[in-house]
Amino acid sequence: MASRQPFTDTDTADEAVRATCDDATVCKRFATSKGYWKDPYIQYFVRSVGERKAPEINRGYYARVQGVNFLLDAFLKKTQCNCQIINLGAGLDTTFWRLKDNNLMPRKFFEVDFPTIVSRKIHYIKTKPPLSKPIIETHSTDSLLLDAHSLDSDRYCIIGADLRNISDMEEKLKKFQLNTELPTLVLTECVLVYMTPSQSSGLIRWVAETFHSAMFINYEQANMCDRFGQVMIENLQRRQCMLAGVETCQSLDLQKERFLRSGWEHASALDMITVYSMLPQEDVGRIERLEFLDEGELLQQLLQHYSISWATKDKLRLGLSQVSF
């Protein structure tokens, strides 16, 4: 009989990181129920709307979703969808279904996350026809490749892997037809901050070295040196959630440098208060009327402590460096 390995601090930290997947999905479910943006698919991953979230949280998620979608859609248009997307640490994200509905489908959409999260997502997909139907519609044969920790079709693939083990992840992606010759967008949302700086820089470098024309979009904490940042860190630590990579989140300059040091040609970074100010103001006005905000200081502080950074390399001269807000 095989002996069970003792439960380690790493296991505890990984479990806490996995829990953040549910936090994000629950928050998005509530915000969409209030009308901040439309997502007809998130209800199949979180059935109940759950308890009320503060307006600041809803607006923060609105800025995150709209900001990431803006850059992602711009990349798809630049490449005329002749590209692939890899969402690392994707959780219960619904981007694939949104792109299918909007006729903005890449050649293939990959998702990678912890095997336990992937198993749950596959279960939801298998048991909810509104999730499985779009995958089957874009698949050319009768059968999907499906097991406990992976699902593969012509246009959508989900894989269970640890992002800290790059060689294992790469092997699994290539097994499911990752094409290193295609322009590729890699997306990470609140993922790199849970890896050590050497682990995340290894991942960023792997993307730069693997694809000749690529874009990397990263959403996570920023400006974490001040008191507000310290309180955020302490709150997460109380839940056993260690921000192993927080030193890279000290400033926007550090966010840009991590890409430029790892083989990327161009890099930009904006805090979310700036992104929020650059979103279509008519829609921002609409969502600001949805709920009354007592005073804007907490929202301002929250938005100042998150950022979107993005980097490009463009051997095919597709104009990827022009993708911006």
Which residues are annotated binding-site positions for S-adenosyl-L-methionine? 64, 89, 162-163, 189
Region of residue 55 (left: phi > 0; alpha: psi -120 to 50; beta: else): alpha
Positive or negative torsion for Cα 222, 225, 231, 237: positive
| Angstrom distance (rounded) from CA 64 to CA 289 | 18
For residue 281, the cross-strand partners are none
Report which DSSP code applies to 5. P
Binding residues: 64, 89, 162-163, 189
Report which DSSP code applies to 249. G
Task: Tell me how far CA of residue 44 lies from CA of 29, 32, 47, 158, 256, in angstroms.
Answer: 10, 13, 6, 17, 36
Enumerate residues 6+ apart whose C-beta is below 8 A from 141: none
Q: Which of 10, 189, 233 is nearest to 91 (CA)?
A: 189
Can you spell out the DSSP letters for 102-143?
TT---SEEEEEE-HHHHHHHHHHHHH-HHHHHHHHHT-SSS-
Can you spell out the DSSP letters for 146-160?
EETTEEE-SSEEEEE
For the chain, the distance separating the N- and C-terminal CA atoms, rounded to the nearest angstrom, is 57
| Angstrom distance (rounded) from CA 53 to CA 69 | 22
| Angstrom distance (rounded) from CA 91 to CA 17 | 11
Enumerate residues 6+ apart whose C-beta is below 8 A from 140: 154
